[in-house]
Structure 1
Amino acid sequence: MSFLTSDKPIQLHSADYYKACAIGGILACAPTHSLVLPLDLVKCRLQVKPGLYSSNAAGIASIVKNEGLLKVYTGLGATFIGYGLQGMGKYGFYEYFKKTYSDALGFSNSLVYLGASASAEFLADIMLCPFEAMKVKIQTTIPPNQVQNLTKNLYSGLVPLWFRQIPYTMVN
C-alpha cells in the first residue's frame, strides 16, 4: 500500500486510486455502522418481539442492566466486517464502474453515475448480506451454544436488501 505513505499524488483511475477509494469506503462505513449498533440491536429485537422495550433508550438501558454494558454491541464483529466490505465495494466499485461505463459510452452524465452506483451497490450488498444475516441472528435468535445455525440462509435477505439499498445509493 505504497499510496498511503507516498508524497506523490495518486493517479486518477490507477490501481492505487481504486485501493484508496475502497479503503475510504471501509473507513466511512464500518465504524459508523458499528457506532450505532446499540440502536440497531434494540430495533432488531423489537422487530422480533414488539413491545419488548418502550423506547430505544429504555431498550439500551434494559440491555445494559440485564446483560451488561458490552452486550449493547452484540453483533459487532459481523457488523464491522459486513459494512466494511459493503463500503469497500460501494466506494471502490462506484469509481470503477463510473470510469468503465463512461469509456464504453463515450460520455459521462447523471445516468452513467446512477448506473455506476446501482452496479456498485449490487455487488457491495452481495458482500454485506451474509454478515448482516449473521448479525441479525446473533442479535435476535442464536444462543451462544448454537453457533452452528449462524451460517444457514445467509443470502435469504439479499433481494430485499437490493430493493432498499440500490435506490438509496443511487439517490446518494
Structure 2
Amino acid sequence: MPEKIQLYTKDYFLACTIGGALACGPTHSAMTPLDLVKCRRQVDATLYKSNIEGFKSIIKSEGVAGLFTGFGATFVGYALQGSGKYGFYEIFKYQYSNLVGHEFAEKNKTALYLASSASAEFLADLALCPLEAIKVKTQTTIPPYAKGLSDGFSKFVAKEGYAGLYKGLVPLWLRQIPYTMVKFASFETIVESIYSRLDKPKDSYSSLFQTGVSFTGGYIAGILCATVSHPADVMVSKINSDRGANETIGAATKRIYSQIGFAGLWNGLPVRIFMIGSLTGLQWLIYDTFKVSVGLPTTGGH
C-alpha cells in the first residue's frame, strides 16, 4: 500500500498537478489524427466530405505519419495545461471553501466547482495558448508548414513574433473556460449522484470500481462540455489559421462569422463529441488511478 498523503498539503496539490499532466498530455496527443481532420474541416468545410475521406487523403498525400501532424505541440501543450487545470482546481476549491466557509461551500457545491474550475483554466490556458497556436497552424496548412514542435515554434515566431503566440488567447479562454467549468462541475455532480444511488458508502467499494465510476462520470461530462464549447473551438481554429497580422480579435471574429454563419460554428461537432467524450473519460480514469496509486481517494462522491 502506498504511504497515505494528507489531504490539502503541498504533497497533495503536487500529486494533483502531476496527475493532471499525466491525464491530459497523453490523451490529447493520442487523439491527434481525429483532431487533425476536425481542425482542417473546421477551417475548410469543403476539404474532406467525411472524416474517413480525410484520413484516406492524408495517408495518401502525407503518409501514415501525416495523421500525427501537431503531435508534439499537442502533447506538451496539454500536459502543461492539464497540470495547471487539475492542480489549480484543487487549490482554488480548497481556498474558496475556506474563504466562504465550509458550511456555505457544502450548500453551494456547484458554485464552488464552477468558480474553482474557471479560475484554474484561466491560468492553465496561459501555458497552453502558445502550443495551441503552433498546433493549429501546423495542422491547417497543407502541406504542414513545420516538421515538428521546435521547427514550428521557430517559424511561427519568425513570422508573427512572440506576441503572435497569444493572438488566440481570448477565443481560447472562451472555449476552454466554459468547457472546463462544465467538465468539472458535471463530473463532480454525476459521480456524487452515482454514489448516492448505491447502497453502500463510496469507501466500501474497490479502487477498480471507483475508477470505473470516474470513467463513466468523465465520459458523460465530456459529451456535455464538448457541446458547450464547440462554437468557440471552431472560432479558435479559424482565427489561428486565418487572422490577419494587424487584425483585431473582434474584427477577425466578425469577418469569419460572416463567412461561415451560425451553422458553421457547429461544423465537426459529432466527431468532437466522440473525441472529447472518450478523452475526458480517459482523463478522469488516469487522474484518479494515479491518485489511488499515491494513496489518495478518487475524486468526487465524498
- Common fold by TM > 0.5: yes
Q: What amino acid is aligned across from residue 10 of structure 1 in structure 2? A: I
Cα offset, 1:132, TM superposition = 0.6
Q: Secondary structure at the match of 1:12?
A: coil
**Which ranges in structure 1 are unaligned for 5 or more consecutive residues?**
1-5
Tell me whether 102-111 or 74-83 shows the greater mean CA deviation.
102-111
Q: Secondary structure at the match of 1:54?
A: coil
Specify the alignment match of 2:293 in structure 1.
Answer: none
Specify the alignment match of 2:155 in structure 1.
Answer: 149
Specify the alignment match of 2:226 in structure 1.
Answer: none
Structure 2 distance, partners of 1:73, 1:170, is 29
Specify the alignment match of 2:179 in structure 1.
Answer: 168
Cα offset, 1:113, TM superposition = 2.1
Tell me whether 146-155 or 78-87 shows the greater mean CA deviation.
146-155
Mapping 1:35-50, distance limit 5 Å: 35-50=30-45
Of residues 66, 71, 75, the one that matches 2:61 is: 66
Structure 1 distance, partners of 2:39, 2:49, is 14
Count of paired positions: 167
Q: Secondary structure at the match of 1:144?
A: coil
Q: 1:100 to 1:78 in 2, by over 3 A?
A: same
Structure 2 distance, partners of 1:89, 1:17, is 14
Q: Does 1:94 align with 2:95?
A: no
Structure 1 distance, partners of 2:181, 2:40, is 29
Specify the alignment match of 1:115 in structure 2.
Answer: 115
Identity %: 59
Cα offset, 1:96, TM superposition = 0.3
Cα offset, 1:144, TM superposition = 3.5
Specify the alignment match of 2:20 in structure 1.
Answer: 25
Specify the alignment match of 1:3 in structure 2.
Answer: none
Q: 1:53 to 1:27 in 2, by over 3 A?
A: same
Q: Secondary structure at the match of 1:13?
A: coil
Q: 1:143 to 1:171 in 2, by over 3 A?
A: closer
Per-residue CA deviation, residues 56-114 of structure 1 (Å, 9 max, x unaligned), is 11111111121111110001110001111111111000000011111122232322221
Structure 2 distance, partners of 1:100, 1:47, is 39
Structure 2 distance, partners of 1:168, 1:46, is 21
Structure 1 distance, partners of 2:54, 2:45, is 12
Specify the alignment match of 1:159 in structure 2.
Answer: 170
Q: Is the 8 A contact 2:133 2:168 kept in 1?
A: yes
Of residues 75, 78, 84, the one that matches 1:80 is: 75
Structure 1 distance, partners of 2:47, 2:38, is 10
